[in-house]
Amino acid sequence: MTDDQGPQRAGPRMRALVQHSDRGPSDLILHEDQQRPRPGPDDYLVRVEAAGVNFADTMQTRGSYGGGPRPPYPAGFEAVGEIVAVGSRVAGPLPTGTRIVGTGPGAFAQFLAMPAAGVLPIPDNWTSAAALGMVLNWGTALAALRPMGMITPGDTVLIHAAAGGVGQPAVRLARHFGARVIATASVSKHPAVRAAGADDVLDRDHPDLAAEILRRTDGVDLVLDSVGRTSVPVSLGVARPYTGRVIVFGTASGPAAVSMEKMIFEHPVQLKGLHIGSLATSAPALYRNVLAELTDLIRLGVYPPGRPEIHPLADGPRVLADLEAGRTTGKQALDPWR
């Protein structure tokens, strides 16, 4: 079915969470009669079965996410669900009824217009919720390790925030690629990180984290850093001179200032930025390679079905507040029909 004006068999309204200010998750309000989106010519219209909650969502609620929407706006950007309509310009479209995972603005809702270029079908034997994170979390982890991080067997890899939505996949993938994994996380989350396969797990609040890492290693080949201000000095300090790679893909603790003078004279390492959405639009061939490799990893059993903790849509503000405060472990999700 192709319908750029939206599905005719459904009504025009839906439930959705709308962010009304830059004051944080407390101003994320449930609307019972939000206008249902219409898919553009390059979109699928998806009946959302579960929406992923990510740290970027908390940053958007405070207006600190670069290029993020301005309030009021329908919140969320990651979802899984069933295709109910297909835009007229979608090339080789998947049929209606196909379950897919992908991203698009306004995912904390019952229906979402999702750009077709970045979606993946959900494996037949998986629940829809199990696929949350496939494109966003696992895609980011794989892109950081492979095309950006150039991981090789025998590398020592440092992964900050290793208990998070990207951190746990990164630990699993780094081990699969033959690396030794040093991970950081709050102490209460160490069991989850060890279960993911980390060789060493350190307290993120260790008073001299860089020295402790260097005590255990002779330098790190690759660092995955999604924390920012509090972790980037550690990342630069432990990466091997010249050959060490530091991949920055988040600023959970705030932006970090990097001195060019220090990069030249104290930390001559390879510093790279990564945003999976920007990768999809700026380097589409590279992005498609990442998605293809994810499919292979699922087939090989390296990437198992996820087990997100699913909450009713109305609990979204609380879930985002808990994520922002570091009170969650693993993937969190919202059910827009509950």
236 and 169 within one domain: yes
Domain boundary among 275, 298, 325: 275
User: Which CATH number goes with the domain that contains 253?
Assistant: 3.40.50.720
Structural domain includes residue 289: no
Structural domain includes residue 159: yes
Does residue 212 register a pLDDT over 60? yes
Domain boundary among 275, 299, 318: 275
166 and 73 within one domain: no
Does residue 7 register a pLDDT over 70? no
Residue 73 CB contacts under 8 Å (≥ 6 apart), including other chains: 18, 19, 105, 106
161 and 42 within one domain: no
For the stretch 83-95, pLDDT in tens is 999 999 999 999 9
The pTM score is 0.89
Q: What percentage of residues in the chain have a pLDDT greater than 90? A: 88
- 62 pLDDT band (50/70/90 cuts)? very high
Of residues 269 and 254, the one with the higher pLDDT is 269
Does residue 254 register a pLDDT over 50? yes
- In this prediction, residue 118 carries a pLDDT of 87
Does residue 67 register a pLDDT over 90? no
Structural domain includes residue 235: yes
215 and 330 within one domain: no
Structural domain includes residue 131: no
For the stretch 15-39, pLDDT in tens is 999 999 999 999 999 999 999 999 9
For the stretch 307-329, pLDDT in tens is 999 999 999 999 999 999 989 88
Q: What percentage of residues in the chain have a pLDDT greater than 70? A: 97
Structural domain includes residue 128: no
Mapped to the 3 state alphabet, what secondary structure does the chain carry? CECCCCCCCCCCEEEEEEECCCCCHHHEEEEEEEECCCCCCCEEEEEEEEEEECHHHHHHHCCCCCCCCCCCEECCCEEEEEEEEECCCCCCCCCCCCEEEEECCCCCECEEEEEHHHCEECCCCCCCHHHCCCCCHHHHHHHHHHHHCCCCCCCEEEECCCCCCCHHHHHHHHHHCCCEEEEEECHHHHHHHHHHCCCEEEECCCCCHHHHHHHHCCCECEEEECCCCCCHHHHHHHECCCCCEEEECCCCCCCCCCCHHHHHHCCCCEEEECCHHHHHHHCHHHHHHHHHHHHHHHHHCCCCCCCCEEEEHHHHHHHHHHHHCCCCCCCEEEECCC
178 and 58 within one domain: no
261 and 208 within one domain: yes
**Which pair of structure tokens corresponds to residue 45?**
């219209």
Spatial separation of the C-alpha atoms in residues 272 and 139, rounded to whole Å: 16
Spatial separation of the C-alpha atoms in residues 280 and 284, rounded to whole Å: 5
- In this prediction, residue 154 carries a pLDDT of 98
158 and 105 within one domain: no
User: What CA–CA distances, in Å, run from 315 to 20, 111, 306, 332, 334?
Assistant: 16, 18, 21, 11, 8
- In this prediction, residue 147 carries a pLDDT of 97
Spatial separation of the C-alpha atoms in residues 83 and 237, rounded to whole Å: 47
Spatial separation of the C-alpha atoms in residues 177 and 193, rounded to whole Å: 17
- In this prediction, residue 162 carries a pLDDT of 96
Structural domain includes residue 209: yes
- In this prediction, residue 251 carries a pLDDT of 87
For the stretch 134-172, pLDDT in tens is 999 999 999 999 999 999 999 999 999 999 989 999 999
247 and 225 within one domain: yes
- In this prediction, residue 12 carries a pLDDT of 79
- In this prediction, residue 11 carries a pLDDT of 59
- In this prediction, residue 231 carries a pLDDT of 95
Does residue 42 register a pLDDT over 50? yes
Spatial separation of the C-alpha atoms in residues 155 and 161, rounded to whole Å: 19
User: Which CATH number goes with the domain that contains 316?
Assistant: 3.90.180.10
Domain boundary among 275, 299, 322: 275
Does residue 6 register a pLDDT over 70? no
Q: What domain count does the chain have?
A: 2
Task: Provide the domain limits for residue 321.
Answer: 13-123+310-335
Does residue 3 register a pLDDT over 80? no
Spatial separation of the C-alpha atoms in residues 123 and 114, rounded to whole Å: 19
- In this prediction, residue 5 carries a pLDDT of 44
For the stretch 234-252, pLDDT in tens is 999 999 999 999 999 998 8
Structural domain includes residue 285: no
Structural domain includes residue 168: yes
Average pLDDT, the chain: 94
- 199-208 own/partner pairs: CB under 8 Å, 24+ apart: 201/162, 204/160, 204/161, 204/231
**Which pair of structure tokens corresponds to residue 117?**
């270029």
249 and 317 within one domain: no
For the stretch 261-286, pLDDT in tens is 999 999 999 999 999 989 998 999 99
318 and 231 within one domain: no
154 and 110 within one domain: no
258 and 187 within one domain: yes
